[in-house]
Chains A and B, each alone.
Chain A
C-alpha cells in the first residue's frame, strides 16, 4: 500500500478509546477517587468532624449518617453545632438550607458532564447527590475526558470513593479525639482551604476562572462583617457575575 503524501492518512473510523462496560467505568472512577490528593484532604477534614462529634457527645451513628447522606461538611458542622446548642430545629434546618445554596451552581455547572448518551433523570439525580466541593472541583477536570457512555458510572465511582473515605475519616476522628497534638489539629483545619486553593489554581485555565477565583478571595474578607450569609452572596454571586462579564469579554477578544 502506498503511503499517503505528507502523512495525511484519514483517522480511524473507530473511536480512539476502547469500549468499556459501565462497571469498568465505575471501577475506574473508584480507583481515581481513592488515588488522588482529595483522599488526604477528605480523610483529614472528616477526622476533624469525627473529633467534633466525640467532643460534644453526638452519637457516632448519626454523625456517620450525616457524612453518608448530607455529604457536605459545612452543613454537617452547622447541623451538629445547632443540635448540641439546643437551637430550635426549624432554625437549624434554615441555617443548613442557607449554607447549602452553594451546591446549586455547582450541580448546574457540572450537570452537562454527568449525563449519558441517553438522558435519565434517575441516574442524573444519583450523580447530583455526590456533588459537593470535592466532586465539583475534581469532576470539572476529570469528567470532560471521559466519553459520554462512561460519565454516569465514572461519576458514581468517584462519588462512592469520596464518601467511603469520608466515612472512614469520621470514624477515625471519633476514635482519635483528644489524642491529636495541637499543631497537628491546627494543620487539619487548614487542610480544606489549602487543598481547595491549590486545586482551583490547577483547574483555572480561562480568564473567567482566574477572575472568579480572585473575586471570591478578595470580596470575602471585605464583606465579612455582613450578617446572614450576605457576604457569601456578594462574594459568590456578585463576584462570579463580575468575573463572567469581564472574563468572557477578554476571552472573546483573543
Chain B
C-alpha cells in the first residue's frame, strides 16, 4: 500500500511542501509522529476526500467502462488487458515486499520473501487452501518480526 508512496515526496517538493513528513506520516504502521497531529474539521476533510481522492480514482473506473464496452470475453484485447492487469497487481505486490514501509522493515528481505514462498507452499500442500497459505506465511513473518523487533 504505502509502497506506492515513493513518488509522493517528489510531488511534495514540486508543490513547495515539506517532503519529509509525507513519507513519515503516511506510513501505515508507524506510531504517530509527535506534533504531526492534524487539526482539521471532519466535514472539510470529507469534502477533500471526495474531491481529491474519490473523483481522481473513480474517473479511471468510468473511463475503463467506456473503453471496455466493446471488449468481449476471450478476445485478443481481453487477453492482453488481463495480462497487463495481472502484471500490474504482481508489481504492486512485489513493491510491498521489496520496498515496504512500517514495522515490517525490521524483518530482512530474505525472510519477507520466505514468508511469501511459505504461503504459496502452504497453499499447495494443504489442498489448495488459500487460507492455509495465508496462515503459514503470516506465522513465518510474525515469528521473524518477534525476533527482530525490540
Interface residues of A (CB under 8 A from B): 37, 40-41, 45, 48-49, 51-52, 54-63, 65-66, 69-109, 111-113, 121, 124-125, 128-129, 131, 133, 136-137, 140, 144, 178, 182-202, 208-209, 211-221, 224, 227-229, 231-232, 235-237, 239-241, 243-244, 247-248
Contacts and interface: CB of A to CB of B under 8 A. Distances in A.
10 contacts: A61-B46, A94-B56, A99-B4, A186-B106, A196-B92, A211-B83, A217-B90, A224-B99, A240-B87, A243-B83
B110 interface: no
Interface in B92-114: 92-100, 102-104, 106-107, 112
Contacts of A84: 21, 25-26, 36, 38
B60 A101 contact: yes
B61 A103 contact: yes
Nearest to B95: A220
Does more than half of chain B's interface fall in helix, strand or loop, or is it mixed? helix
A97 B88 contact: no
A185 B55 CA distance: 31
A249 to B, nearest CB: 12
Contacts of A208: 79, 82-83
Contacts of B40: 58-59, 83
A191 to B, nearest CB: 7
Given A108-B81, A224-B98, A66 B49 contact: yes
Interface residues of B, number: 111
Contacts of B80: 240-241, 244
Contacts of A184: 142
Contacts of A185: 29, 102-103
Given A87-B15, A190-B115, A197-B119, A61 B42 contact: yes
A129 B52 contact: no
Given A108-B71, A186-B106, A128 B7 contact: no
B21 A189 contact: no
Given A104-B60, A109-B81, A86 B18 contact: yes
Nearest to A212: B86
A186 B85 contact: no
Contacts of B72: 112
Given A189-B28, A213-B90, A239-B90, 4 more contacts: A75-B53, A98-B7, A112-B78, A237-B84
A185 B8 CA distance: 24
A52 B89 CA distance: 23
